[in-house]
A and B are shown apart, each in its own frame.
Chain A
């Protein structure tokens, strides 16, 4: 076992930090803060080009599809440093692992390089009004018609749909088959006629959460499909195998710098805040109850870090996950909740103040995170579903 970074990895991190200091402009941060295009406007695309020139995007992705065929740990280092500013860069994003595993050559060549460059962005079309945690109950239909499929239905919480180029979606292709065996995955351009996106505003929208808020998105969407005709080449993997295709790489989507940082940034923030601030002479940093709690949270956060390092170690070795990805997706979000709730009791009434308020601490960052952290335990597989998976796949316990 080796809990340290190599000299090369340390150097890489130093180079990335220096690059960020010299290249991440206020203009980019303002663009991200504005939330338009999900923060991925011209400034972002300009940055991606510069990062690509350094050879730092898609490091662990195959060379033939626009990556560097390098190590996952190196990619993690790049991802972590950018993600600390809220900038998603470095990997290929959700959906890419499954495309690499199950896509046709044409799909891989078309999608993966574009995803690595941030030019192709997928909205995720899984959840429906009547199918959330029980995803296999989804109803959106795709019916084969010659060389095309025709799609009708509705998807919920398609968060990127208003700025994404494509949607990665699960549809029912065989209503008579057992539920898990009648589902297919399609990769569909968002500009296809018949797709309508309607905004759903989250509790972070008024006033808007400050930049850096975990789950600070003001907007998600519901997306409607009305006689949407797509070529059959949009099918990913085999028809009716979508449940199994979708499972490929799902674990990989649940681990990494983004998952880790959204759960632990507030631990650093609150420690750094109480070290430098007080309330008219009352210093929480000297309060024994606060000190005990901060030490407890810091230790939990270290476990978040180590779980992420364990996942990176497994991926680097080319090993498969048994329960480690699910475990990380239980521990980290629940830790994030512990921290934000504890912070509310450390800052007391000040933790109520939202971004637009006078007297708000750190532009309301802590208050908005209290509304964001629990979302992490719901999205992308709830912590209860993750525990089910650990128990059944990891521990071999029988289904209820």
Chain B
């Protein structure tokens, strides 16, 4: 038990911070908000050269085979500078292929991900945005050697630049045996796929994806037919924990900007950071970020160890949703009017962190999962010990 970063982990974090702070300015972040593809390809290539795109992918497919906690550290630093790169969506989809894909899929996709040649994403949300099997209405129907897909996916990250998208589809009605969900690799530029850009709070690249008789080959299936939901769940757990890392990175930077501002901004003849009302807001902001960070990395660490992690993931996201939001709001309040002027940079952080609180599960959804684990399985609970598991 030593929950602080090891020397090696700290080194990676330092290298990531140094590189990202040197390469990414707020001017670039603003430019990418109005850019058609939303990321600078040259920077993406540099990140590939640093080995970050295959950081947690298996070595035999061109990755570095490092634990998810390492990827979490890089995403935390990426969040800090609001790195406008499709790192999160690509990592999430690639890790799912690495864990649950066929050998052919791994060979075809993972080396290209690691060297920066292939961007990926995933599509689960639908009209009913809850991340539960009942909400999956996208139909996949067997058609000879392949499948025909029909339906709509919402809030698909970086779809506009992705070469492959993992799509959760309904292949059967839910039964006692399984949820009837299958996961397919879809080419977002293929026939029958329509993309519609969504204008979001974060001004990132999210899309609606309409599939109309879009055909995929048999080889596009990830896992077994009708058995896809557990794969989707594991994908969402990784995605959520990694997003929390990004959130705490951004929120901590936002808090640090408020601390600096409070030291320098003079009102009533002294720096506003000398007022206890402001000091206590700032202290709470750091406590909140620290809490989210520890919860997020514990969830990733559990995954790395092969331990149950779904409750830990939900704890992290439920907490980050509320507390990171408090942090960025407090920072806006401390900055006063200038903080929400377009020309001032602070809103870049506020808008992204706020947007991320709504993605990959709301506070209420995650607390419902935690409550179920606490209350619906017989047996006593104790903090620091595994929760009781069902028969």
Distance between Cα atoms of A313 and B5 in the complex (Å): 10
Query: Which A168-197 residues have C-beta < 8 A from chain B?
Result: none
Distance between Cα atoms of A296 and B371 in the complex (Å): 9
CB-defined A-B contacts under 8 Å, sample of 25: A1-B2, A1-B4, A6-B1, A275-B380, A291-B367, A299-B315, A299-B367, A300-B319, A302-B298, A302-B383, A306-B3, A310-B4, A312-B1, A313-B4, A314-B4, A327-B283, A331-B291, A384-B276, A384-B280, A391-B273, A391-B280, A395-B286, A396-B259, A397-B259, A397-B271
Known A295-B374, A323-B283, A327-B287; further 19 A-B contacts with Cβ < 8 A: A3-B298, A4-B301, A267-B383, A268-B380, A268-B383, A275-B378, A291-B371, A292-B371, A295-B371, A301-B383, A302-B295, A306-B295, A310-B4, A388-B280, A391-B283, A395-B282, A395-B283, A397-B262, A398-B273
Q: Is B263 a contact of A398 with CB atoms below 8 Å?
A: yes
Distance between Cα atoms of A309 and B374 in the complex (Å): 22
Contacts of B291 in A (CB 8 A): 303, 306-307, 331
A82 contacts chain B at the CB level, 8 A cutoff: no
A298 contacts chain B at the CB level, 8 A cutoff: yes
Known: A301-B383, A397-B274. A330 touches B1 (CB 8 A): no
Q: Is A294 a contact of B374 with CB atoms below 8 Å?
A: yes
Known: A275-B375, A303-B295. A327 touches B290 (CB 8 A): yes
Q: CB < 8 Å: which of A267, A314, A390 contacts B283?
A: A390
Query: Which B268-292 residues have C-beta < 8 A from chain A?
Result: 270-271, 273-276, 278-280, 282-284, 286-287, 290-291
A281 contacts chain B at the CB level, 8 A cutoff: no
- B290 and chain A: residue at smallest CB distance: A327
Contacts of A400 in B (CB 8 A): 270, 274-276, 279
Contacts of A285 in B (CB 8 A): 375
Q: CB < 8 Å: which of A307, A327, A398 contacts B274?
A: A398
Q: Is B375 a contact of A310 with CB atoms below 8 Å?
A: no
Q: Closest CB of chain A to B313's CB: distance in Å?
A: 11
Known: A285-B375, A384-B280, A391-B283. A295 touches B298 (CB 8 A): no
B61 contacts chain A at the CB level, 8 A cutoff: no
Distance between Cα atoms of A341 and B328 in the complex (Å): 27
Contacts of A310 in B (CB 8 A): 3-4, 290, 294
Q: Is B374 a contact of A298 with CB atoms below 8 Å?
A: yes
7 closest pairs, A vs B, by CB? A391-B279, A295-B367, A291-B371, A295-B370, A306-B294, A303-B291, A390-B283
Q: Closest CB of chain B to A292's CB: distance in Å?
A: 5
Distance between Cα atoms of A213 and B275 in the complex (Å): 37
Contacts of A1 in B (CB 8 A): 2-6, 9, 69, 297, 301
Contacts of B104 in A (CB 8 A): none
Contacts of A316 in B (CB 8 A): 2
Q: Is A309 a contact of B1 with CB atoms below 8 Å?
A: yes
Q: Is A303 a contact of B318 with CB atoms below 8 Å?
A: no
A380 contacts chain B at the CB level, 8 A cutoff: no
Taking beta carbons and an 8 Å cutoff, which residues of A are in contact with B? Answer: 1-6, 9, 73, 264, 267-268, 271-272, 274-275, 285, 291-292, 294-296, 298-303, 305-307, 309-310, 312-314, 316-317, 323, 326-327, 330-331, 384, 386-388, 390-392, 394-400
- B69 and chain A: residue at smallest CB distance: A1
Contacts of B375 in A (CB 8 A): 271, 274-275, 285, 291, 294
Distance between Cα atoms of A2 and B298 in the complex (Å): 8
Q: Is A307 a contact of B294 with CB atoms below 8 Å?
A: yes
Distance between Cα atoms of A392 and B273 in the complex (Å): 10
Most central of A264, A272, A395 by chain B CB within 10 Å: A395
Q: Closest CB of chain B to A288's CB: distance in Å?
A: 8
Known: A267-B383, A299-B318. A309 touches B286 (CB 8 A): no
B368 contacts chain A at the CB level, 8 A cutoff: yes
Known: A267-B383, A398-B273. A387 touches B283 (CB 8 A): yes
Residues 318-352 of chain B, each 1 if its beta carbon lies under 8 Å from chain A, else 0: 11000000000000000000000000000000000
- B382 and chain A: residue at smallest CB distance: A268
Q: Closest CB of chain A to B76's CB: distance in Å?
A: 12
Contacts of B270 in A (CB 8 A): 398, 400
Most central of A298, A327, A331 by chain B CB within 10 Å: A298
Q: Is A303 a contact of B279 with CB atoms below 8 Å?
A: no
Distance between Cα atoms of A290 and B222 in the complex (Å): 39
B364 contacts chain A at the CB level, 8 A cutoff: yes
B36 contacts chain A at the CB level, 8 A cutoff: no
B11 contacts chain A at the CB level, 8 A cutoff: no
B172 contacts chain A at the CB level, 8 A cutoff: no
Q: CB < 8 Å: which of A274, A330, A399 contacts B287?
A: A330
Contacts of B290 in A (CB 8 A): 307, 310, 327
B174 contacts chain A at the CB level, 8 A cutoff: no
Contacts of B141 in A (CB 8 A): none
Q: Closest CB of chain B to A359's CB: distance in Å?
A: 24
Most central of A73, A390, A397 by chain B CB within 10 Å: A397
- A326 and chain B: residue at smallest CB distance: B283
